[in-house]
A and B are shown apart, each in its own frame.
Chain A
Amino acid sequence: MADIWRMIGRRLLLGILTLFVISLVIFGATELLPGDLARELLGQSATEETLAALREQLGLNDPAPLRYLKWLMGVLQGDFGVSMATQKPIAELVGARLGNTMFLALYAAALAIPLSLVLGILAALWRNSIFDRASNALALTSISFPEFFVAYILVLWLAQTGIFPSMVRITGSTTFGDRLYMSFLPALTLTLVVTAHMMRMTRAAIINLLASPYIEMARLKGMSPLRVVLRHAVPNALAPIINVVALNLAYLITGVVIVEVVFVYPGLGQLMVDAVTNRDIAVVQAIALIFATAYVLLNLIADVMSTITNPRLMHRR
């Protein structure tokens, strides 16, 4: 057990280092963006004096390394600065949106992960059957269409007919049930997009093991095919499955931009798109950093879980 904690500690330190490098990249990339923030904010009619005054106020005249350090210090204290477009603190702005994005990601994950695991296991159990082929074909079809296309098809079928709303309006008084109902279409879109990857990986990981001598041994002990797959193959296939699930969870949090725009879902992706249009650099930086953190954390969790499920790593000789 001590080994695990040591590993988590080491990975956390590495993760922090990764995030530090990412923060440099984010800051550097936004520096490279063309255009003048002050002019963007004040419009074409602004005079040189007002522009200079605003630049001074925003600290835009400081050298880049200094501004980076100030920004980083702020971030470390939870202060992402102030949105230039709305004049609100970014932490506040992002906070609400982050909750919405996490809700949608978890919602989609709650649909997609059980679905793809069950489909993957059944496809492995009945490999080369009609079921296997059909679920593979369906999953591949849904992953092959662009997300916005899947989204509009769902809108056409399920929203035009009035079954589900095509837009998501979340206010303080929205109940949990209403949220589930309103967010169903975006969650379903995301589910369709990520299921194929996880399902095929699950199937492949299990089938890969079915030729192992211990699987033959289980069959020769008279175990039923379902038990052979569930008890003998799945535990050994967990590491690749966990990794592909983590990868898709990260996608659900960070890759939802298009889906959020299509369904006007008030999440981080939507906010990021708005911020990019408004040249609200500080907001873009904050969101990029949050996305990066989500990736790093999910990968860390996946690695720890793969280790925990492997007795060879948990119980040394």
Chain B
Amino acid sequence: MEKQVLLTIKGLQIEGRSGDAWHPIVKGVDLTLHKGEVLGLIGESGAGKSTLGLAAMGFARDGCRISGGTIDFDGIDLRQAPEAQRRGLRGKRIAYVAQSAAASFNPSHKLIDQYCEGPVVHGVMPRKNAESDAVELYRRMRLPNPEDIGFRYPHQVSGGQLQRAMTAMAMACRPDLIIFDEPTTALDVTTQIEVLAAIRDIVRQFGTAAIYITHDLAVVAQMADRIKVLLRGDEVEEADTRSMLAAPKQDYTKSLWAVRSFARAAQPQATGTPVVSVRNVTAGYGAVDVLKDISFDIHAGRTVAVVGESGSGKSTTARVITGLLSPRQGEVLMGGKPLPSSFKARSRDELRQCQMIYQMADTALNPKLRLRELIGRPAEMYLGLKGKALEARIRDLLTLIELEPDKYIDRFPGELSGGQKQRIGIARALAAEPQLIICDEVTSALDQIVQEGILKLLDRLQRELNLAFMFITHDLATVKSIADEVVVMQNGAVVERGPKAALFSAPQEAYTNLLLSSVPEMDPDWLNRLLAARGEHA
């Protein structure tokens, strides 16, 4: 079958403005896409994936400009074409699916109104036809109640359904090309499967070409015919999916592939009094019980991973342990003794024993304070360190998290990279010399290579300081690499708990099995096999 070229990008350069200066975001990238072909764009944050994807629509975000190269879409020069002509293509022949459907649907209009807007304004079909077409596409995207779901507002529909509705909306004018910009990144793994399958089917049914942007290799392996790897605005390499996965050529690509290799050494079964025991805790907000009778222990020197989808009660559990939320029933024991339920009633020493590290290091660190103050505060408050002793302690902590004290001690958080900020979050928790550190999705906002570094650091600190970790995450790859024991939560209840090896090799509960099997694997046939095994049509 001879393939026609649909999109040709040559030597594309895009610049972004910071202050008065323009700095390059995309540095001369070439890209060719054939009709009906799916190209995966992969890279870490800041690689220029989204910027490149938008440029394929002849679009640059505010504060960005396309400064060089050519973009040819089916014979139309998107750089030279007048804005009105480009606008006529957008939504009609080139469509876009955004990362967060919840934020990208207008909260003021019903789904079907937003669906029909494109076809009607572009003059593709009248409203009546667009409406019946929408129902048909909702059905094909396997949305529940396809006849009615369009007449709901975005806030009345779940995230996974919205993402499918957005894909249906992108299909409304039967475009030649769809840009998928991390469409499943914000979704839970079990939801992700359905969305991936629906997207892949519909793209195949209509023979639509697509650029699929993601940072998740396993996801792109399921979706793309070809993969292009980007690094800081440059192309690293490009090849068809199977050969790319089997034999990456460049070192950077190999390092991406190898990222998930870290695994903490297996630990013997923990004994003795646990550092923290959660005993039959039921808790919630208002009249709703978010946690239902949950119990588990965390021992010194061990990591307990609490996994579950969003809304399963993971973070609420952390709030109960730290005393931010008083349970309705049950209690939290520390070293065998019951802790007061509210943090207000806890002694300073009890507070010191339990520290937290947060998901967004950006917002968890006061941007107006230097690292010296950020790390020094807890050491001063809990341990009474002052003057030289405090300074020495701060330097020790910085050394511990592998940041050179002389270079960093007087910096502000804004002068650090994302991974370095997260290290400061760790140092701040360590400064109180706690027994337990609760890590709430600490690696979720980081690139995979950076995640690896943080996980290794946490593992080393645990071995050296005999710390107990409670590791809240939805990412099962992280669990595999760092956990000793796993607690699986669903709808506020503990579904299953046990040592990692046992749980991963022989899950006892159907939900655990569903969760584990939903984690994408780097095998291009994984999704097909999974869908076949679950009895859904592929």
Which residues of the partner chain A approach B100 to less than 8 Å between Cβ atoms? 213
- Say whether A236 contacts B88, CB under 8 Å: no
A220 vs B152: C-alpha distance when bound (angstroms): 22
User: Which of A217, A219, A224, A231 is close to B105, meaning CB atoms less than 8 Å apart?
Assistant: A217
Which residues of the partner chain A approach B345 to less than 8 Å between Cβ atoms? none
Whether A222 contacts B107 in the complex (CB less than 8 A), given A217-B98, A317-B155, A317-B156, comes out as no
A231 vs B120: C-alpha distance when bound (angstroms): 14
Q: What residue of chain B has the Cβ atom nearest to residue A235's Cβ?
A: B108
Task: Tell me the residues in window 101-122 of chain B with beta carbons closer than 8 Å to chain A beta carbons.
Answer: 103-109, 117-118, 121-122
Which residues of the partner chain A approach B87 to less than 8 Å between Cβ atoms? 222-224
- Say whether A212 contacts B92, CB under 8 Å: no
Which residues of the partner chain A approach B91 to less than 8 Å between Cβ atoms? 220-223
- Say whether A311 contacts B107, CB under 8 Å: yes
Q: Is A216 an interface residue (CB 8 A)?
A: yes
A232 vs B118: C-alpha distance when bound (angstroms): 13
Interface residue range, chain B: 20 to 34
User: Which of B54, B89, B98, B152 is close to A222, meaning CB atoms less than 8 Å apart?
Assistant: B89
Q: Is A133 an interface residue (CB 8 A)?
A: no
- Say whether A236 contacts B117, CB under 8 Å: no
A213 vs B181: C-alpha distance when bound (angstroms): 12
User: Which of B117, B122, B153 is close to A312, meaning CB atoms less than 8 Å apart?
Assistant: B153
- Say whether B107 contacts A213, CB under 8 Å: no
- Say whether B109 contacts A235, CB under 8 Å: yes
Q: Is B61 an interface residue (CB 8 A)?
A: yes
Task: Tell me the residues in window 213-259 of chain A with beta carbons closer than 8 Å to chain B beta carbons.
Answer: 213-214, 216-224, 227, 231-232, 235-236
Which residues of the partner chain B approach A221 to less than 8 Å between Cβ atoms? 90-91, 95-96, 117-118, 121
- Say whether B155 contacts A311, CB under 8 Å: yes
Q: How far is the CB of B169 from chain A (nearest CB, A)?
A: 8
Whether A223 contacts B121 in the complex (CB less than 8 A), given A235-B109, A311-B155, comes out as yes
Q: What residue of chain A has the Cβ atom nearest to residue B103's Cβ?
A: A213
- Say whether A216 contacts B107, CB under 8 Å: no
Q: What residue of chain A has the Cβ atom nearest to residue B158's Cβ?
A: A317
Which residues of the partner chain A approach B105 to less than 8 Å between Cβ atoms? 214, 217
Q: Is A315 an interface residue (CB 8 A)?
A: yes
- Say whether A220 contacts B59, CB under 8 Å: yes
Considering residues A217, A236, A309, A317, which has the most beta carbons from chain B within 10 angstroms of its beta carbon?
A217
Which residues of the partner chain A approach B98 to less than 8 Å between Cβ atoms? 213, 216-217
Which residues of the partner chain A approach B152 to less than 8 Å between Cβ atoms? 315
A312 vs B104: C-alpha distance when bound (angstroms): 15
Which residues of the partner chain B approach A317 to less than 8 Å between Cβ atoms? 155-156
Q: Is B57 an interface residue (CB 8 A)?
A: yes
A219 vs B61: C-alpha distance when bound (angstroms): 10
Which residues of the partner chain B approach A309 to less than 8 Å between Cβ atoms? 108
Bitwise interface map of A from 286 to 317 toward B, beta carbon under 8 Å scored 1, else 0: 00000000000000000000000101100111
Q: How far is the CB of A205 from chain B (nearest CB, A)?
A: 13
- Say whether A222 contacts B156, CB under 8 Å: no
Considering residues A218, A232, A235, A311, which has the most beta carbons from chain B within 10 angstroms of its beta carbon?
A311
Considering residues A213, A221, A236, A316, which has the most beta carbons from chain B within 10 angstroms of its beta carbon?
A221
Which residues of the partner chain B approach A213 to less than 8 Å between Cβ atoms? 98, 100, 103-104
Q: What residue of chain B has the Cβ atom nearest to residue A217's Cβ?
A: B104
- Say whether B59 contacts A219, CB under 8 Å: yes
- Say whether B153 contacts A311, CB under 8 Å: yes
- Say whether A222 contacts B106, CB under 8 Å: no
Which residues of the partner chain A approach B155 to less than 8 Å between Cβ atoms? 311-312, 315, 317
- Say whether B122 contacts A236, CB under 8 Å: no
A231 vs B122: C-alpha distance when bound (angstroms): 16
A223 vs B173: C-alpha distance when bound (angstroms): 14
Q: How far is the CB of B172 from chain A (nearest CB, A)?
A: 9
Q: How far is the CB of A123 from chain B (nearest CB, A)?
A: 17
User: Which of B61, B92, B153, B156 is close to A216, meaning CB atoms less than 8 Å apart?
Assistant: B61
- Say whether B92 contacts A218, CB under 8 Å: no
Q: How far is the CB of A287 from chain B (nearest CB, A)?
A: 40
- Say whether B122 contacts A222, CB under 8 Å: yes
Q: How far is the CB of B123 from chain A (nearest CB, A)?
A: 11
- Say whether A222 contacts B92, CB under 8 Å: yes
User: Which of B57, B62, B156 is close to A315, meaning CB atoms less than 8 Å apart?
Assistant: B156
- Say whether A315 contacts B153, CB under 8 Å: yes
Task: Identify 17 new A-B residue pairs, CB closer than 8 A, beyond the known A213-B104, A214-B105, A222-B121.
Answer: A213-B98, A216-B61, A217-B106, A220-B95, A221-B95, A221-B121, A222-B91, A223-B87, A223-B117, A223-B121, A232-B108, A236-B108, A309-B108, A311-B155, A315-B152, A315-B153, A315-B156
Q: Name 10 A/B residue pairs within 8 A (Cβ), A-sorted.
A: A213-B98, A213-B104, A214-B104, A217-B104, A219-B90, A221-B118, A222-B90, A235-B106, A236-B107, A311-B155
Give the top 4 A-B pairs by smallest Cβ distance, nearest first.
A221-B91, A222-B90, A222-B91, A235-B108
